[in-house]
Structure 1
Amino acid sequence: MFRKLIYRTGCLIRNPSIEKCYKDLKATEFSSSSELHDLQLEKLKALLKFCYQYSDFYRNSFDKVGINPMSGPVNFDILKKIPILTKDELIKFNSEIHTTSSFEFKKKFFSETSGSTGQALTFYKDEVWDSYNRASINRGLSWFSISPWECNGYFWGFNFVLLQRLKTKLLDFLLCRFRLFSYSDNDLDKFLSKCKRAKYLEGYSSMIYEVAKLANKKGVNLKNIKLIKGTSEKIYPHYSSETIKAFGNKIISEYGSAESGIIAFECPAGNMHLNEETCIVECIDGKAIVTNLVAMSFPTLRYDLGDYIEISDTECDCGRKHKVLKEVTGRVGKNIIGFNNNYPSLTLYYVFKNIALESGLELTYRCEQHTVGFLVVYLEVEITESLVSLLDSEFSKYFKNDMKCEYIEKSTVRIKGRKLKDFESFID
C-alpha cells in the first residue's frame, strides 16, 4: 500500500491525466476492429484541426496539398495526401511544427532523444500525451497482472554527472526500481539479490540476455518474475533459452519511440498489438509510417520512424482485435557498400535469418563497415572453419564477389553503455 500511495501521489503531481487515460485505454481493450477504426477517425479529425489552427508547419503543408480540415470532410484517404515526415524535417522545422507558441498547454515536459540514427531531436511533450504514453505501458503491464508500483529491475543507461545521478536514484526509489550499473561480480550479485523481490524486469534486451547468461552460470534461478520486457532493441529468438532458464520467462516486446510514443505491446499470447487508440501505423514499402494521435504540442503526422515492419490482421487468441505488428525486421540505415554496388543494411537480417532457418544456428551478431568492400562481422560464438564456410556461403548469395567478410569472435557483441545495433557504417 505504501508503494501504491507513493506512485499515485507522484502521478497526481506529474501526470494528473494518467488515471483517465488508463481508464480510456482499458475501456477499449477488447473493442471490435470497426470500433477502433471509428475511434481513430474521431481522434484524427481533432488532431488535423488542431494542427491546422496552431502549427505553422502543418498549416502550410495542408494548404499545399489542398487540405482544409476546418471545413472539408476528414477521412483516412486525406491522411494519405499528407507528405511523409522525416526526422531531418522534425529537426529542421522544429519550431514551426511545435504548437506551443500559439496554444497554452497546462503542463509540458522537455524531451530529448538521439534514437538509433544518432540525430539529436528536442521537443516539448504535453502532459496528456505523456500520460497516454505512460498509461499505455501500464495497460500492457496489466495484461500480465502487474501494477506499475511493484518492484522492478531496470537495464538501462546511467548518467554519471552527480546531479543527474542523484535525480536518477530518487526517481528509481519513487518507482520502486533498481538498476544494473556494470557487469562486475559485485554489482551483478547485488542486482540478482534484489531480483528476488521483483515482479518484472525491463530495458535493453541485449543487457537482459547478458545478465541471464551470467545468472545461469552462477546457478541463480528467479521464478518470481512475472514479466521481462525488452525495449528499444531487437529481441533475438535465442535470447529466450537463457531468460527462461534464469527468470522463467521469455522477453516480450514493447515497441515505440520518444516522438511517436508506445506503438505496440506484446500480449501473453505472444502477439504485438498496435496501440490503435494512440496511433495510426501505415506500412509503406515495408517502412513504418506512424501518426501519433495524442501528441498535440509536437504533432508527428505520417512520420517515417526508420524501421522496416510487417503488419498482420491475424486473430489473436487473447481476444484483442488491435492489429498485430508481426515483426520489426530492422532499421532503415546506411547502405552496405560493396566494391561495385550498394546493398541495404536489411540484407544482414535475411542472411542470419536464413542461417537460423536452414541450419538451426541462431547467432547474435553486430556488423561494422570501415572500408568499401569489407565487412567486419562480430559473433558471440567460437569461429570455426565450418562456421566460416556456412557464413561465406550465405553472404555470397547476396553479395557474390562484391564483398569480403572478416569474422571476429567476441564474448559479447554489445558495446558497453550503448544500444545494440546490428550494423554501423563508418564510411562517409
Structure 2
Amino acid sequence: MWELLLRHGYEPIREILSQSGFRSQRKSLEENQWRPPAEIARQQLQAARDIVRIAYEQTPYYREVFGKIDFHPEDLHQLSDLQQLPILSKSKLKEHYQTLRNPHQSGLLHTKRTSGSTGRPLEIFLDDSAMTTKHAITRRANEWSGWRYGQPIAKLWGLPEHRESGFKGRLRTIAVDRAIHLNTLEISSTSLRDFLRKWNHHAPALLFGHAHSLYLLASFARKNRLAVQPARGIISSAMPLHGFQRVVIEEVFQYRITDRYGCEETSLIACQCEKGGMHIAAESVLLEVIDGKILLTDLLNRAMPLIRYQIGDAVESAAKPCTCGRGLPTLGQLAGREADFILTADDRLLSGISLTENFILQLPGLEQIQIIQESRNLIRFQVVPLEASKRFDLQGSLIELAGNLFGSGIHFEVEFVESIASEPSGKFRFCVSKMAQDYLRNLAA
C-alpha cells in the first residue's frame, strides 16, 4: 500500500510542485530505449551538434580550442567528426576549470565533487535540466534490476544520506527510500550480522552497493551458514564486478546482479539489462573507445560541457549484441577503478572506495592520494599536495582524519610525492592491502 502511495501519490505531487518534468522524461526514455539503433545514433548526432555549438558559442575554453584547429560546429556532419577535437584529460579539466564553465548558463546549478577514478578531486557544475534527465535515465536503468520505485531498499555505502542533509535526509531515508544501511566504513562481524538480521526482517526489494562490499556480505553469510531472504533486485556499482564475486552474491541472495557503471562527472554511463547486455545511456553520453581508453561526451550538461573527456577507465573486450531488443548501444568488459578494503587493528573492514571518497572530499588540499596498508598496525599514505607550501597543515589534517576513521592501534606515515603511477594494467588502485585480501579469501573459503 505504501509503495503505491509513493509511486502514484507522493512522486506526482512532488513533480507538480517542483515543475521538473521528471515523469514525462521517464515516459519518453522508456519508449526511446526500444527504438532502432540507427535512430538512436541520429539522436546522438543531433545532441552532439547542439552541445558542440553551445560549447563553442558560450565557453571560453572551447572557443579557443576550436579556433586553434579551425573547427566550427557546422563541421560536425557525423559522429566520427568528433575525432578532430582534442581529448579533454582530467589534468586539462582542472587547469581550465574556470574557462570550461558556461558563464551564460542561467537557472539552478548543481555542484558535484568526486574523487574520480585516479584518486584526484574534481568539481563539476551541472544545469538543472540535465540533472533531471540524468536522474530519469538512472531510474530507468535501476528498474532493469527488477526493483520498482516505492519499494524498500538496502544500501551498502560509505555514509547514510541523512548525515549530510540532516532531518530532511533522515525523513526521506525512513519514509521514501525505507532504507536499511550498512556503513562500509565500519564493517565488522557484528555489523554484518546486524545488517543481515534487518535484511531478513524488513525484506527490502533492492540490495545496492559496491561490488566488493556485496561480495563481503554474501561471503560472510555463506561461511557462517546464515539464512538469507532472497533479493528481488541487486545493483552493483562504483567498481568492477568480478566473475567470482558475481557467483557468490547470486548464490547467497538467489537473484541475478545488475552491474552498473558510471562516474560522478557524467552520472550513469552504462547498465546491465535483464539479459546481461551492458547498455550505454545513449541519451546522456556519447562513448568512444580509443586505444582501449574510454572517452565521454556529455550530451546534456550545458553548464560545463565535457567533450571527449577521458575518465581514466579502459575497456578490456569488445561490445556484444544483446538479445533484449533495446536499441541502446552496448559496452564491452571494463577494466575500471579498484580498491581493497583496509583491515583495522580491532578487526573492522573499511571499504577502500568509501575511504578515498572521504579523504578527497574532506581534505581540499589533496591533489591525489593512495592508501597502502603495510601491516595491521601501519598505514602509509602517498600524497600529491595541491600546494607544496601547505604540506605541514595537510599532513596534520590527514592524520587527524585517519585516526578518526581507522581507530587506535595504527601508526600512520605520510609520504609526499610528485605523482602516483597506475599499475601496468592501467588501473589505479585507491587502496592496497594484502592483509585485507588474505582476510577476504579466508572469509569466502
Tell whether the structures are fold-level matches, with TM greater than 0.5.
Answer: yes
- SS where residue 139 of structure 2 aligns? helix
1:84 and 2:90 are equivalent in the alignment: no
Offset at residue 198 of structure 1 (A): 0.7
Distance 1:47 1:8, change over 3 A: same
1:179 paired residue number: 181
- Name the counterpart of 1:283: 289
1:248-274 Cα distance to aligned partner (Å, 9 max, x none): 124321111111221100011112111
Counterparts of residues 106-255 of structure 1 (less than 5 Å):
107-158=108-159, 164=165, 166=167, 168-173=169-174, 174-181=176-183, 182-196=186-200, 197-255=203-261
What does residue 298 of structure 1 align with? 304
- The residue aligned with 1:401 is none
1:340 paired residue number:
none
Cα distance in 2 between the residues matched to 1:108 and 1:367? 33
Q: Deviations over 1:336-363 (max 9, x none)?
A: xxxxxxx9625498xxxxxxxxxxxxxx
Change in CA separation of 1:221 and 1:10 when aligned onto 2, cut-off 3 Å:
farther
Residue identity over aligned pairs, in percent, reads 22
| Comparing 225-234 and 171-180, the one that deviates more | 171-180
1:220 and 1:18, CA in 2 relative to 1: closer, same or farther beyond 3 A?
farther
Match of 1:29 in 2: 33
Match of 2:64 among 32, 55, 60: 60
- In structure 1, runs of 5+ residues without a counterpart are 335-342, 350-364, 369-375, 381-408, 415-428
Post-superposition Cα deviations, 1:289-335, rounded to whole Å, max 9, x if no partner, equal: 1111111111110000101114645321211232221211245999x
CA gap of 1:167–1:219, structure 2 versus 1, over 3 A, is farther
Determine the structure 2 residue equivalent to 1:345: 423
Once the two structures are TM-superposed, the CA of residue 109 in structure 1 deviates from its matched residue by: 1.4
Tell me the secondary structure at the aligned position of residue 208 of structure 2. Answer: strand
In the aligned structure 2, how far is the partner of 1:146 from the partner of 1:15?
25
**Displacement, 1:30?**
1.4
Structure 1 residue 184, shift from structure 2 partner: 3.8
Letter in 2 for 1:294: L
8 A Cα contact 1:367 1:377, kept in partner: no
Aligned-partner SS, 1:40: helix
* In 2: Cα distance, 1:44 partner to 1:330 partner: 26
CA distance 1:104–1:283, change in 2 (3 Å):
same
Unaligned runs of 5+ in 2: 339-367, 370-420
Q: Tell me the residue number matched to 2:390.
A: none
For the aligned residue pairs, the C-alpha RMSD in angstroms reads 3.2
Give the TM-score of the pair, scaled to structure 1: 0.74
Equivalent pair of 1:283/1:310 in contact (CA under 8 Å): no
| 1:380-408 CA-partner distances (Å, limit 9, x unpaired) | 4xxxxxxxxxxxxxxxxxxxxxxxxxxxx
3-state DSSP class of the match of 2:62? helix
Q: Deviations over 1:79-98 (max 9, x none)?
A: 11111001112222112111
Amino acid at match of 1:75: Q
Name the SS of the counterpart of 1:144 in structure 2.
coil
Identify, as 1 or 2, the structure richer in helix.
2
Distance 1:91 1:8, change over 3 A: farther
Aligned AA for 2:82? L
* 2: CA distance, partners of 1:19 / 1:67: 38
In 1, the alpha carbon distance for the partners of 2:99 and 2:177 equals: 36
* Structure 1 letter corresponding to 2:124: F
The code of the aligned residue for 1:61 comes to: V
Equivalenced residue count is: 355
For residues 348 and 52 of structure 1, the distance between their equivalents in structure 2, rounded to whole angstroms, comes to: 32
Which residue of 259, 264, 270 maps to 1:258? 264
SS of 1:67 mapped into structure 2: coil
Matches of 2:196 and 2:11, distance apart in 1: 24
1:22 aligns to what SS in structure 2?
Answer: helix
